[in-house]
Amino acid sequence: MIDIAKLTELAIAYDAGDARRVQHFLKVHAFCRLIAQREGLDAHTQNTLEAAAVLHDIGIHEAERKHGSSAGPWQEAEGPAVAAPLLAQVGADPAASERILWLIAHHHTYAASEDTDFRILLEADFLVNAYEDGLAREACQTADERLFRTRTGRALLQALYLAPPYQP
Ligand SMILES: [Fe+2]
């Protein structure tokens, strides 16, 4: 099993000086873990998903450096090469690494797969991006219909963005 705390520290060190990115992946990891636990993923799948959540955006700095853009396709292209040595440092086995790199390389390609771990990563990333990007209610409604698959992810989307807005 991958030591998620150790991997998180490595990812924080890699993203040093960029608090926004660190906060982003910590939140995506927390949502992934919660959804995976509630959806009953086996321990191994949950572990690889958590590692992918920590590393899903690790290609952004390279994408910005090489291509002047953090657009999805550049992140997907650059992420695996940055993630691989970090996974080696935590002793990830080849099969787990392969799955994690695939998840990183496809996390902006919504139609890539219907596998539950992949759908959970997409849902968790959306739950965080919707807040960070101030997404409109209609966009969240559309995501509920088209993007979300899990009961837990949908319940979170509902509670955070589709329930009547809190007013003190
Ligand atoms: Fe993300």
Identify the pLDDT of residue 70. 85
d(CA 124, CA 39): 13
CA of 95 from ligand 1 middle (Å) equals 23
CA of 73 from ligand 1 middle (Å) equals 13
pLDDT in tens, 18-67: 999 999 999 999 999 999 999 999 999 999 999 999 999 999 998 899 99
CA of 91 from ligand 1 middle (Å) equals 24
pLDDT in tens, 76-102: 988 999 999 999 999 999 999 999 999
- At 76, the amino acid letter reads E
CA of 128 from ligand 1 middle (Å) equals 8
pLDDT in tens, 149-166: 999 999 999 999 999 999
Please state the separation of Cα 159 from the chain's center in Å: 20
CA of 161 from ligand 1 middle (Å) equals 18
Identify the pLDDT of residue 25. 98
Residue 44 and residue 36 in contact, taking contact as beta carbons nearer than 8 Å? no
Residues that place a CB less than 5 A from ion ligand 1: 57, 125
The pair of three-digit structure tokens given for residue 13, joined into one six-digit string: 């060190």
Indicate the pTM of the whole model.
0.96
- Res. 11: pLDDT tops 90: yes
Instruction: Tell me the mean pLDDT in the region 121-145.
Output: 97
CA of 143 from ligand 1 middle (Å) equals 16
| Best CA proximity match to 123, nearest among 97, 95, 161, 89 | 161
Q: Which residues are within 8 A (CB) of 36 and not within 5 positions of it... i.e. 6 or more apart?
A: 45, 46, 49, 50, 117, 120
What sign results for the dihedral spanned by CA atoms 128, 143, 102, 105?
Answer: negative
d(CA 10, CA 166): 37
Identify the pLDDT of residue 43. 97
Q: Which residues are within 8 A (CB) of 119 and not within 5 positions of it... i.e. 6 or more apart?
A: 113, 148, 149, 150, 153
Instruction: Tell me the mean pLDDT in the region 96-121.
Output: 97
